Amino acid sequence: TASRSYRDARNSDIVVITAGAAQAPGETRMQLLGRNIKILKSIVLEVKRHAPDSIIMLVTNPVDVLTYYALKYSHFPHHRVFGTGTMLDTARFKSYLAKYFAVNAHNIHAFILGEHGDSSFPALSTANVGSIPLKDMPGYNDKAMQAIFYTVRTVVYEIIKKKGSTNLAIATCVTQLVRAILNDTHEIFPVSSVLRGEYGIHNVAVSTPSVVGRKGIVAELELPLNAKEKKSLKKSVSILKKAIRSVR
């Protein structure tokens, strides 16, 4: 096949970055940071050169920290740089909830927020099934919900252990996001973006619900989180800011 170069991405509408070192068994996403930040910078500078009007979508882990640096290196407008964040975590969570409550996952509205990693958390206070608050559903109990979330948060390590990587499910998420951009659907996804005051958070990329359309992130939505969830979000932000500062 003919050799490829960044010139092939010239004037692209969307650039999806998946390049990076693979996550090894037992390795956290944050441990990947040192290896992947150098790869990211070289890619983003070339994207800026050849596709200056593109939307950059980050998939490479640790996606939140890399999203922050992709925005920094590119100097693109905020709405044109975001990561897949907790989109896959959320899809898995909804799937398990659907099985638990014996309903279709499309009728479950719930988000996993925060870091795409070990400090993520379920926003249970705003979750609902067919407009019924999750906590009012027959069979609901906190212990069962936390067990489901624990499975969602740890399944990635089991997948890596058994097959060496996670690729098919995240590819589906990327496809959904690309379609949302190209078709300007204004769908809501929990993607990672650098916040500018939402939830009282500044200058760190973290997953919160965002409206996605032709311009990239059309709007950031602020959920009315309860005190426990606000504390969990603050913890995620603290961990991510520490990781951002660790980059040399």
The length of the chain, given as a count of residues? 248
| CB-based contact 222:199 (threshold 8 Å) | yes
Question: Annotated catalytic residue: which of 75, 106, 116, 202?
Answer: 116
Nearest to 100, CA basis, from 62, 134, 125, 68: 134
Q: What is the DSSP string of 101-143?
A: HTS-GGGEE--EEB-SSTT-EE-GGG-EETTEEGGGSTT--HH
| CB-based contact 64:192 (threshold 8 Å) | yes
Please say if 116 is a catalytic residue: yes
| CB-based contact 169:154 (threshold 8 Å) | no
Q: How many CA atoms lie within 13 A of 222 on its CB side?
A: 9
Nearest to 80, CA basis, from 47, 39, 33: 47
Tokens (6 digits) for 123: 């926003």
Q: How many CA atoms lie within 13 A of 40 on its CB side?
A: 27
Nearest to 142, CA basis, from 28, 228, 216: 228
What SS3 class is residue 207?
Answer: strand
What residues are labeled active site? Answer: 116
